[in-house]
Amino acid sequence: MYKYVVTLIGISCLETIRGKLANLAKFGFTDDEIFGLLGRSPLILTLSIDKIQRNMTFILGTMKLPAKVVLKHPFLFYLNLDTVLKPQILLVEKTQCMNLNLQIKRPPILRALRMTEKRFVKQLIECHPKEVADELMEFYGSAKQIKTLAESSKKGTRKGFLF
């Protein structure tokens, strides 16, 4: 990991690194916590400020988890908000509201996020009776179709190299 950190710092602008560190500091992390996080997961420096901002806002607002949880689980920064994080969290919350037994151990939300989609569907949907599984699968499919505001207006014109 040391070589990744050295390479990332070497090719990044100083202003970019300061901006990314300041973005993490906005969520109440101390300098020691930020550098500890970067030491364990240096590829966070490759993520955009916007992605970290969106994921942290979702973790704090919707999931209602403390900000310190990302220090123990930095994989939360890497997850795609629209296709993984939001639909899976909504499905886990729906199963908890329906008082269904889950096959995963506690805490179910963070454990479910680490699963592949195939295993996630098997563990949280297919383990229930047919009519409940159909309802959950329909809910999960509709949750995956929900896009972030202005997502449809983005232009995908960039192909290949940037230069």
| Domain contains 39 | yes
Helix H or strand E segment including 144: helix 130-145
Alpha-helix residue ranges (DSSP H) falling in 1-107: 2-11, 14-25, 31-40, 49-61, 69-72, 75-78, 86-97
Which pTM value belongs to this model? Answer: 0.76
In the block, which residue shows the tokens 């969106």?
Answer: 54
Please write the tens of the pLDDT for every residue from 8-48.
778 888 898 899 999 999 999 999 999 899 888 888 988 99
pLDDT band per the 50, 70, 90 thresholds, residue 77: very high
| Domain contains 114 | yes
| Domain contains 8 | yes
Q: 140 and 89, same structural domain? A: yes
Contact 20, 52 (CB under 8 A): yes
DSSP symbol at 56? H
| Domain contains 153 | no
- 154 vs 82: CA distance, rounded Å: 14
| Domain contains 125 | yes
| Domain contains 99 | yes
Q: 87 and 57, same structural domain? A: no
pLDDT band per the 50, 70, 90 thresholds, residue 97: confident
Q: 139 and 88, same structural domain? A: yes
Task: Note down the domain range covering 111.
Answer: 81-145
Q: 92 and 62, same structural domain? A: no
DSSP symbol at 129? -
Please write the tens of the pLDDT for every residue from 9-19.
788 888 988 99
* Residue at a domain's end among 32, 66, 100: 66
| Domain contains 155 | no
| Domain contains 152 | no
pLDDT at 163: 46
* Residue at a domain's end among 14, 43, 66: 66
Question: How many structural domains comprise the chain?
Answer: 2
* Residue at a domain's end among 14, 41, 66: 66
| pLDDT average, residue stretch 49-73 | 91
- 16 vs 31: CA distance, rounded Å: 16
